[in-house]
Structure 1
Amino acid sequence: MTEKPVVYACSGCSNVARIAHDISLNLDSDGIAEMSCVSGVVSDVEPVKAIATSGRKIIAIDGCQLQCTKACLDMAQVDTAHYFVITDLGIEKRDKWQDSLIENSKALNHVYQQLAEQGISFPE
């Protein structure tokens, strides 16, 4: 059995950051990926860094074009196999409390569909 991928999410303060974080939590709770802490990776916290460098596929989800999650992983020399930016889906970056269930659903469906096309989906 192949180990499930590790997912890292944006931890910013906007609606799209919240969407990225929520999708990562969903991937973890659905058993599709294991969510881990990107700040622990970049700050070299040994048990967290060990997960990132274990050879498992890495999923990174950023909220916007600042690409903070990807930059942290790149800085730690962690290769990202699957990468998503929520604003690339046409979702406008707004204040953290100005979110939309429709936008959240659109982003969640997109990420799940793209991962499924790459063979990453619900466990059997």
Structure 2
Amino acid sequence: MLQERFWTMLKQALENQGKAVTIYGGKSVKVISQNYYQNSKGNKNIGLKYPVGQYASMNICMYINLYSWVHYGLRVCDEQGNAINRQDIKSDVASSLSEGNAVANKKDDWIVCYYNDEQRA
């Protein structure tokens, strides 16, 4: 399956760069690739994530997500690795980044979120 190959290759490339990558939306690349097509529309958030730093003693993680589009961005994670809403951190950090262009950018649990838009080059 093409999607499984995409996630496998991306995960391997990130790990080769020393990233501590974890899968979310399922237990393995194979499972998330299958779940995307089997889950209902509201349950299609799958992808990879890895920590990029800390802010105000909270972990900031890079998420690479598939929900209709492949998009990527930063989220605050709790001690269990779950994305959480921290408006104070979002306000502080997002102001130093270019504005996100993905729909998820407007959600409270994303600091910033992008998708590839060749029209905005």
- Is the TM-score greater than 0.5? no
Which of the five TM-score ranges fits, normalised by the shorter chain? under 0.3
Task: Please report the TM-score for the alignment, with normalisation by the length of structure 1.
Answer: 0.27
Task: Please report the TM-score for the alignment, with normalisation by the length of structure 2.
Answer: 0.28
Which is helix-richer, 1 or 2?
1
Larger relative contact order (Cα-Cα within 8 Å, sequence gap ≥ 6): 1
Bigger radius of gyration among the two: 2
